[in-house]
Chains A and B, each alone.
Chain A
Amino acid sequence: MMAKRLKVANPARCIGCYSCMLACARTWYDTISIKNSCINIQTRGGIETAYAPIVCHACIDPPCMRACPLGALTKREGGGVRVNKDTCDGCGNCVEACIVGAIHLDAEKKSVICRHCGVCTKFCPHDVLEMIEVEDSGELKVMDTSPVSSTASHKDLYEETQSEAEK
């Protein structure tokens, strides 16, 4: 299996529906929440200005890991880290170290960091979020050498209706 990571592919297409955040919390926290999500869709001036999706950048050499005094964060294949919740004591050094702002602590003072599982991409209606294949180290891969199409990544709306019509 190829290593994968999450990427904010088309931030300008975000409509601020928060479906990704809800999906993350629903999947990994078993709750209905927009707080315990590893994704943070931020606003910078209400919804009058563009949304800013804040997600883990899957660092190749993660500062959060280096900042953890207990070794609770270990390198993940494809970039970023895995969190050992039993070891994490909620010191918050990782939160400080992440200048992207992609880490926060949950109610039990455990660090919340993206696993790059990709469930959010299944609930993004506008292809803002995508999973991309990367080297195990987290380095980007050269995957595509065809000319760039600005709409190539856009899913067809109503895919089911269309496929039914084709049948």
Chain B
Amino acid sequence: MTTEPYAIEGLKNVLYIDLTNQTYSIVERQDLYEKYLGGIGVATNLMLEEYVDGTGPLDPEMPVILSTGPLSGVYPTCTKTVALFRSPLNGELGESYAGGHLAMSMRHAGYETIVIRGASRYPVYVAIHDDRVTFRDASSIWHLSSAIDVGQVLRRVEPGAGRRSIIRIGPAGERGVTYSSVNVDTYRHFGRLGLGTVFGAKKLKALLITGNQEIKSPEHAEYRKMYKTLYETIVKTGLMEKYHNLGTSENILVLNELKGLPTKNLQATSIEGVEQISGENFAEKYLIRRVSCAGCPIGCVHVAMLKRPFSKAHEYETLNISYDFELIYALGSNLGVTDPEAVLELIDACEKTGVDIISMGVVLAWATEMQQREKISTEETMGLNLSWGDKASYLRAIDLIVQAPNDFYSALGKGVDYASKKFGGEDFAIRLGGLEIPGYHTGLGNVLGLTVGARHSHLDSAGYSADLKSFNHPISDEQIVDYIIDEEDRRSILNCMVACLFARNVYTYENIIEALRCIGIEKTEEDLKELGRDIFRKKYELKKKFGFKFEDLRIPKRFFEISSTTGKLEEERVRRAIELYRQKRGV
């Protein structure tokens, strides 16, 4: 473990913002950054310091932590910020990542980490311009129907065009839908686990950050060289080809072919008419531009244009909507929607109201199956007949979930776990660890990764990749468990940097070590691996405090009824793999 002082001036502080008293302070935490570098490492430790036993996810005392890493804004594709909170959706570890301009804006404002404490009595937005933090009344933009439009207002009243980041919530976050997202610079999000709900409870409508500080590497010549090496690896080799080209939505056809694309609430794993919602079709017919997170030369954000007539006199409105694999799964295949324009309209509705699209898709899919099985009727749905592919009903349902006019819609706004406990249909409420599942039904690696993952996200370990590997060359269950453990630890390190996981094969241990060295931070591969294990232990300490128990984990029957890419899963096999994981992890 190095005891070298942190090399770059300014990369050592925490900005504390108190919404209750509208005050702020900056605290030097060199100790934390030296040991944990930044990102998830620093955030996890700060959460352990902050968390008082028994504090609920939406209590004012429950903090939100935003943290960047030593490579943020410093090297290409290190564009993410981690948000740590307690999830109002499942009560567990809330951990979510977003790109956009946020990491770079925090870097140049001079803050590595921001801790938001307390709650305001009335709607506010917080503006951070370098060392000046202001709290402004946001009552006039509270109730705005679109999270996107919040940006339009704040851009007018605050300076910093081109260098600022504006993160904000929509009506869903204000109204307490437990899977509300925080929109980051229009096209990126803190999507999963309900950070938007926490913002809403704090009456925090938006946070804007910008600054003009610069930093300097003590090894500038070497830094320049390393930047160029990484840049050229990213831009000029095929290592990130997928993201240069169709983006993640190239996987729609792949997973459909492999019978691993959850369809109609995971009653099937492939869908007729899939070509219509393929990444290829979206690119050819609707893609109009691609944009980047600040500091990333890839441009993986795919923006589609939807031209929609609104009268018979050739009058049109155009909507620009970003899409990717998970969204097409959630609002496409899993809802039986194969009309690409319908998928785009549904995405647009979710973007405006500000919800996690994966969770919303699963909630709607479950409700549809409930109605088809006549476990609920038009009485609960207030007249809607939810059926696969019916865009118009789904658009209305999204609106009703946010408005919550009755018990049923109110329950849907609390996630599929809550709703199925209240109305039945738990066996086909497709969630693991209380979180609605992403778009994979590939086998053991996927179910295991989602179940044991610290935040039950496919991004914890990408267990589906282990399945896809074993599809070609069968590997043992123990190897799958090992794959997940290795991947979790490797991703913990990337999440300290905080690099975009799309660039995970560029930021190998070797490249991370060299990138750190070129800004004056000495770490060995063993240091980093130990750090990964340390963070894992700390996360479990936190999870335990939030009430997580392996014994409480339930896997709905649906996962065992429907054959996956690698065949039918047996419950016993998954149980054994979880046991093996626990033994190896010592948790």
Contact = CB atoms under 8 A, between A and B. Distances in A.
Interface of A: 15-19, 22, 25-27, 29-36, 40-48, 50, 123, 125-126, 157-161
Contacts of B163: 34-35
Contacts of A46: 151-152, 155, 166, 185-186
A132 B191 CA distance: 44
Contacts of A47: 100-101, 185-187, 291
B294 to A, nearest CB: 5
A35 B227 contact: no
A55 to B, nearest CB: 14
B104 A48 contact: no
B244 interface: yes
Q: List the 4 closest pairs (A to B, CB-CB), nearest first.
A: A15-B299, A33-B214, A17-B292, A125-B297
25 contacts: A15-B299, A17-B292, A17-B293, A18-B104, A19-B231, A25-B214, A26-B224, A26-B227, A32-B214, A32-B217, A35-B108, A35-B163, A40-B162, A46-B166, A46-B185, A47-B187, A47-B291, A123-B231, A123-B297, A125-B235, A126-B299, A157-B241, A157-B244, A160-B237, A161-B238
B313 interface: no
Given A17-B297, A18-B295, A34-B104, A41 B76 contact: no
Contacts of B162: 40-43
Contact of B238 (A27, A41, A158): A158
Contacts of B212: 35
B354 interface: no
Contact of B295 (A22, A33, A125): A22
Interface string B84-104: 000000000000000011001
A32 B76 contact: no
B370 interface: no
A31 B104 contact: no
Given A17-B297, A32-B215, A126-B299, 10 more contacts: A16-B291, A17-B298, A19-B231, A29-B214, A31-B216, A41-B162, A46-B151, A47-B186, A123-B297, A157-B235
A159 B235 CA distance: 9
A97 B237 CA distance: 43
B493 interface: no
Contacts of A27: 224
Given A40-B162, A46-B151, A48-B148, A15 B292 contact: yes
Q: Of A26, A30, A32, which is in contact with the most chain B CB atoms at under 10 Å from its CB?
A: A32
Contacts of A30: 216, 220
Interface residues of B, number: 47
Interface string B375-416: 000000000000000000000000000000000000000000
A15 B290 contact: yes
A17 to B, nearest CB: 4
A14 to B, nearest CB: 9
Contacts of B231: 19, 123
A158 B241 contact: yes
B133 to A, nearest CB: 20
B236 interface: yes
Most buried by B among A25, A34, A47, A126: A47
A140 B308 CA distance: 43
B30 interface: no
A17 B299 contact: yes
Contacts of B290: 15
Contact of A34 (B108, B166, B293, B298): B108
A45 B154 CA distance: 10
A21 to B, nearest CB: 9
B161 A44 contact: yes
B180 to A, nearest CB: 21
A47 B422 CA distance: 42
A32 B73 contact: yes
A160 to B, nearest CB: 5
B347 to A, nearest CB: 15
B320 interface: yes
Contacts of B214: 25, 29, 31-33, 35-36
A122 to B, nearest CB: 8
A35 B73 CA distance: 13
Nearest to A123: B231
A148 B155 CA distance: 39
Given A19-B231, A26-B224, A33 B108 contact: yes
A44 to B, nearest CB: 7
B152 A45 contact: yes
Contacts of A123: 231, 297
Interface string B177-218: 000000001110000000000000000000000001011110
A126 B187 CA distance: 20
A44 B231 CA distance: 27
With most chain A CB atoms within 10 A of its CB, the pick from B162, B163, B294, B320 is: B162
A43 B152 CA distance: 12
A164 to B, nearest CB: 10
A48 B295 contact: no
Interface in B226-240: 227, 231, 235-238
B419 interface: no
A85 B223 CA distance: 26
A158 B291 CA distance: 19
